[in-house]
Amino acid sequence: MEKKNKNIKSLREAINNIDEKLVKLLAERRKLSKEVVIVKDKDGKPIRDQQRETELLNKIIAIGKKHNLDSHFLTKIFYEIIDDSVRLQQKYLQNYKPENEAGILRIAIQGIEGSYSHLASTQFFAHNQEELIFLNKETFNDVVEAVEKGEADYAVLPIENTTSGGINEVYDLLLHTTLSIVGEEKFQVKHCLIGTGGSSLSKLTKIFTHYQGASQCSKFIAALPNCEITFYSDTAMSVKKIVEENNPSYGAIASEEAANLFNVKILERNIANQSENYTRFLVCSRKPKDVDLRIPAKTSLVMATSHTPGSLVDALSVFQKYHVNMTKLESRPILGNPWEEMFYLDFEGNMVDPVVRKLLEELGRYTRFLKILGTYPSKDIIKTEYKVFNDAGKIEPEENAKSKPEIPGTKLPEKSQKPKSYKLASREYKPDDTIIKVRDIIIGGDNFTVIAGPCSVESHEQIFSCAQEAKEYGAQILRGGCFKPRTSPYSFQGLGFEGLNELEAAGKTYDLPIITEVLAPDQVEAIARQADILQVGARNMQNFSLLKAVGRCHRPVMLKRGMMSSLDELLNAAEYILSQGNRQVILCERGIRTFETATRNTLDLSAIPVLKELTHLPIIVDPSHAIGQRDKVIPLAKAAKVVGAHGIMVEFHPEPEKALSDPDQALRFDQFEEMMRDLSKI
């Protein structure tokens, strides 16, 4: 017995020695691998050389055979080794640096230490030399805000799980955030049932966990009939909770790491419905990050397709045309637009690649909203396969390794070509008219749309009587200013959100979509929740931060021509909105300032046919602000229709003389009725 023990001891020692050697050799191999990437980078060589990797595997397997090691065993081990080296080499080309001078990486996550977000972040930044600091936030929204405000360098957010599916809250955040996706991490989630001191499976009456954890372990939970489930903000927090409560009838569902961290015991391991339970996390930062073309990359975007038949099929067929592989397509409802969807799409490709740029350009023609969320290295590293050489000593080329057919027009433009100042707004980019659908109203194409209402919303009675009049005489959209851009700071500034509530209620009552002006970027989100169309006024036509803000929003925007702006400037202002993703822009000609003082402004009617040639965007004429006198609005409204405008916007008031803004140009109701009759004859 004594001798036998001694024998085991020395055998174990020998094994320990070998393991130590293995670890040292692995470290040495890693070091060499790093040196290789430095040389490859200098020589501009590709990172992966799959032929070499296969040769290496073959050689190893041949050696293994001599030592009685089977090929399956060796392939498995060397796959991990090669995978590690590929990751290391990719990290060399794609490093994630802190933005601060202290050289510390600040990572915002939802949850505390031991949460899956924390574990996935640690895995993602494993090759980084910098110190990691975690900013533990309560909600996903707080995580995003921390990075937007510059408190943290990176946000790490779970996006989908192989058991419970997409995380809607994060999808919705991606739509609105200014952050870009710069990385992804797939993390194997191994849920455990955790208990404190004297607890056991049969004693449990209450289990704390995050709702995602509960949903991924629903079958296990269903088999515990006497247990009540209490949702908690994250899995690690629920462990903290049972530690604090110290009640043997309380359990938590979380990671093994969380149990170790809080020094509590694991009652049951692997309790998820599927044993292969993975969560994909996105790493986001303030600025997009170019990915070296030698690294396999994915790009994510969010889009809404145009309101024309077959536009989703048209959009998706662009991927087929460019031989680009879509890896994910998910849809989410659009807030405030019932029964309409935003599509989230991932595809294999890199924004730096001219083919991908061409694809996105073409995709834009079929979308009314298109936002690129980011290009990032793909974590799906192609597995090195063990292949037998053919007689000539060469590996048969793989099907998908065949070179892709060249797509015409995908070469980057020559430097000497003079770049156009606007592109997305041009007819060359999109030959077909943009059609904008607001509820059931169609703007653009062959339609003539009338927008009518008071200059400002002044009271409940005033806006409701305007809405009734608009509806009765056939206007399709109700206008009303709530935030007024007045020339004098002492003039009536509008009723603000109080007015917007009234406008919204009037629109609902009379089934009319509403349009109102936004004055500042920070108002956009709140106003977009209530208004169907956002108006950017003449005075703000070149307020670029406002243009960018409405460009990130999914509501159509009516952009009014600045009173001293050229058509080229107007189209460039529209380009600001379009380039942010929002492809639903309506232009408005509202008169420009000339030497003529007899009228408030001079209506530039020639702008309409000119714009129709230059752009695919719908054009509305505002005769009220152009002429400034109610008696002369009707002829200009009719002229607008004759010259081919897609509609008009006019101001009216139940008692024009008492209007708090622009009283001189407001039509009386009888004049509005006359105008509608006259227009119907054209």
Minimal distance in Å, beta carbon 541 to ligand PEP?
A: 8
Close Cβ partners of 43 (under 8 Å, ≥ 6 residues apart)? none
CB 384, CB 57: distance < 8 Å:
yes
Residue 288 contacts which entry, Mn ion, ligand PEP, none (Cβ below 5-8 A, type-dependent)? none
Q: Does the protein bind Mn ion through residue 517 (CB under 5 A)? A: no
> Is 483 tagged catalytic?
no
Q: Does the protein bind ligand PEP through residue 517 (CB under 6 A)? A: yes
Q: Which is nearer to Mn ion, 294 or 479 (CB)?
A: 479
Distance of alpha carbon 461 from alpha carbon 682, whole angstroms: 33
Helix axes 50-66, 71-93, angle to 10 degrees: 150
Stretch that binds Mn ion, among 75-83, 396-404, 580-588, 654-662 (CB under 5 A): 654-662
Q: Does the protein bind Mn ion through residue 627 (CB under 5 A)? A: no
309, amino acid identity: P
Q: Does the protein bind ligand PEP through residue 600 (CB under 6 A)? A: no
Which letter does DSSP use for residue 279 in this model?
Answer: E
Close Cβ partners of 224 (under 8 Å, ≥ 6 residues apart)? 201, 204, 207
> Is 122 tagged catalytic?
no
Choose which of 137, 552, 554, 590 interacts with ligand PEP (CB under 6 A).
590
Residue 537 contacts which entry, Mn ion, ligand PEP, none (Cβ below 5-8 A, type-dependent)? ligand PEP
Could you tell me which residues are beta bridge partners of residue 437? Answer: 442
Minimal distance in Å, beta carbon 603 to Mn ion?
A: 15
CB 480, CB 453: distance < 8 Å:
yes
Q: Does the protein bind ligand PEP through residue 455 (CB under 6 A)? A: yes
Choose which of 625, 630, 641, 653 interacts with ligand PEP (CB under 6 A).
625
Which letter does DSSP use for residue 656 in this model?
Answer: G
- Write out the two tokens for 171: 């999808």
Residue 469 contacts which entry, Mn ion, ligand PEP, none (Cβ below 5-8 A, type-dependent)? none
Distance of alpha carbon 596 from alpha carbon 610, whole angstroms: 22
CA-wise closest residue to 174 among 305, 319, 282: 282
Q: Which is nearer to Mn ion, 447 or 671 (CB)?
A: 671
Q: Which is nearer to ligand PEP, 166 or 628 (CB)?
A: 628
Q: Which helix (DSSP H) or strand (DSSP E) does residue 218 occupy? A: helix 218-222
Q: Which is nearer to Mn ion, 105 or 455 (CB)?
A: 455
Stretch that binds ligand PEP, among 181-189, 259-267, 286-294, 537-545 (CB under 6 A): 537-545
Q: Under rule CB under 6 A, how many of the chain's residues touch ligand PEP?
A: 10
Q: Which is nearer to ligand PEP, 270 or 491 (CB)?
A: 491
CA-wise closest residue to 259 among 110, 115, 108, 163: 115
Close Cβ partners of 154 (under 8 Å, ≥ 6 residues apart)? 96, 105, 106, 107, 108, 121, 147, 182, 283, 284, 285
Q: Which is nearer to Mn ion, 353 or 662 (CB)?
A: 662
Which letter does DSSP use for residue 15 in this model?
Answer: H
Q: Does the protein bind Mn ion through residue 662 (CB under 5 A)? A: yes
Residue of 78, 220, 262, 281 marked active site: 281
Minimal distance in Å, beta carbon 527 to Mn ion?
A: 17
Stretch that binds Mn ion, among 38-46, 163-171, 434-442, 658-666 (CB under 5 A): 658-666
The dihedral region occupied by 638, where left means phi > 0, alpha psi between -120 and 50, and beta the remainder, is alpha
Binding pattern to Mn ion, positions 437-476, x when CB under 5 A?
Answer: ------------------x---------------------
Please identify every residue annotated as catalytic.
Answer: 279, 281
Binding footprint of Mn ion on the chain (CB under 5 A) = 455, 662
